[in-house]
Homo-oligomer: A and B are copies of this chain.
Amino acid sequence: MKRQHISDAVIRRLPRYYRYLDELHAKGVVRISSNSLGKRMGITASQIRQDLSCFGEFGQQGYGYNITALRAEVGHILGVDEKHRLIVVGAGHLGHALLQNFDFVSSGFRLDTAFDVSPALIGSTINGVLIRGINELEDYCAAVHPAVAVLTVPKAVAQETAARLISLGVRGIWNFTNMELTVESGIFVEDVHFADSLLTLSYRISAAPQLEKESS
């Protein structure tokens, strides 16, 4: 294992490894080789071994990888066992949908509170999560020190809300606002750009038939 910079490409593959290992683990499979995992995932065995070698030596020659152990290792690398505190800021349709559908716990986060401005929502509970007024944000953060905030507020207040969260000690923002946020170094923003995602699909279905025409 070489102590080195971990590239973004490697980091973005880790959750996928974790997902596959979790599934194999749930199925009760005990061991797997880089070769057969690669076949399942549609990537090369070399890439898997190369990626894992950034973090340690988790396999055994002639045997492969123990799934339970490797799953735990990858989970540890991703930080799922750190049980970071998380808050949802903005409990509109999207925030509501995430609170209802998304399993924050199995991604290694703890949450008990969402924030919103709407008096109609404040005091109610979604999937066991209490909705508080945004004016309680300062007190809550001072007490609980959430590490991550899910930003599902309207675009117009995205940047100011992000700055406010960062000033309260939040270090990671899961950004659904379709705005590119400006943040200081040491703060991490993970964007979920719905429009960008859908547009790549638009490109592919638009470009594909053209390619057919060209080759005919």
A interface residues (Cβ-Cβ under 8 A, vs B): 3, 6, 11-12, 14-16, 18-19, 77-80, 82, 84, 92-94, 96-98, 100-104, 106-109, 147-148, 171-174, 186, 188, 190, 192-208, 214
Please state if B196 and A15 are interface contacts (CB–CB under 8 Å).
yes
Q: Which residues of B contact A19 (CB under 8 A)?
A: 195-196
Shortest Cβ gap from A18 to chain B (Å): 7
Q: Which residues of B contact A208 (CB under 8 A)?
A: 171, 186, 188
Chain B, Cβ-Cβ closest to A6: B207
Chain B, Cβ-Cβ closest to A150: B198
Of the candidates B100, B107, B203, the one whose C-beta lies within 8 Å of that of A77 is B203
State A192–B123 Cα separation when bound (angstroms). 31
Shortest Cβ gap from A177 to chain B (Å): 10
Chain B, Cβ-Cβ closest to A191: B197
Please state if B199 and A107 are interface contacts (CB–CB under 8 Å).
yes
Please state if A207 and B174 are interface contacts (CB–CB under 8 Å).
no
Please state if B190 and A172 are interface contacts (CB–CB under 8 Å).
no
Chain B, Cβ-Cβ closest to A204: B188
Q: Which residues of B contact A79 (CB under 8 A)?
A: 202-203, 205-207
State A195–B193 Cα separation when bound (angstroms). 14
Q: Which residues of B contact A96 (CB under 8 A)?
A: 93, 97
Chain B, Cβ-Cβ closest to A210: B79
Of the candidates B78, B97, B147, B192, the one whose C-beta lies within 8 Å of that of A203 is B78
Please state if A201 and B190 are interface contacts (CB–CB under 8 Å).
yes
Of the candidates B16, B18, B148, B201, the one whose C-beta lies within 8 Å of that of A205 is B148
Please state if B97 and A12 are interface contacts (CB–CB under 8 Å).
no
Q: Which residues of B contact A12 (CB under 8 A)?
A: 196, 200
Of the candidates B6, B18, B197, the one whose C-beta lies within 8 Å of that of A190 is B197
Shortest Cβ gap from A185 to chain B (Å): 10
Please state if A84 and B200 are interface contacts (CB–CB under 8 Å).
no
Chain B, Cβ-Cβ closest to A16: B196
Please state if B14 and A203 are interface contacts (CB–CB under 8 Å).
yes
* Given the contacts A77-B203, A93-B96, A202-B78, A194 and B197 also touching, CB distance less than 8 Å: no
